[in-house]
Amino acid sequence: MEAVYVDAALSGSHKQRPQLIRLLDDVARSKGQAFDCLLVDDLSRLSRDLYDMGRIVFQDLAGFNVPVIDVMTNTSSSAPNARQLFAAVG
């Protein structure tokens, strides 16, 4: 399944965005089975708050084995140094 989640013109400074909520609900509902990975062009699109971004990537999505791939750095959240790199670029 291929899906696009876009919260156009909404700030990434908070998590209460319709498409982010839809994404997390879809992941949870499918227990991650509907997703091979999540591609983001820039990690700040998930959240501009470093703590929230880390929670989304390394808890919410990783809990269902859904890796996040940051297209800008071509790095997967499953890479050994991902936490450090994501924190630096997030």
> Which structure tokens are listed for 22?
């839809």
Cα–Cα distance measured from residue 33 to residue 48, given in angstroms and rounded to the nearest whole number: 27
What is the pTM (predicted TM-score) of this model? 0.84
Task: Give the residue among 2, 48, 5, 52 at the shortest CA–CA distance from 25.
Answer: 5
Cα–Cα distance between 90 and 85 in angstroms, integer? 8
Please report which helix (H) or strand (E) contains residue 55, including its range: helix 50-55
Please write the tens of the pLDDT for every residue from 38-88: 999 888 888 888 889 999 999 999 999 999 999 988 999 999 999 888 888
Q: Give pLDDT tens digits for 4-43.
A: 888 776 555 567 788 999 999 999 999 999 999 999 988 8
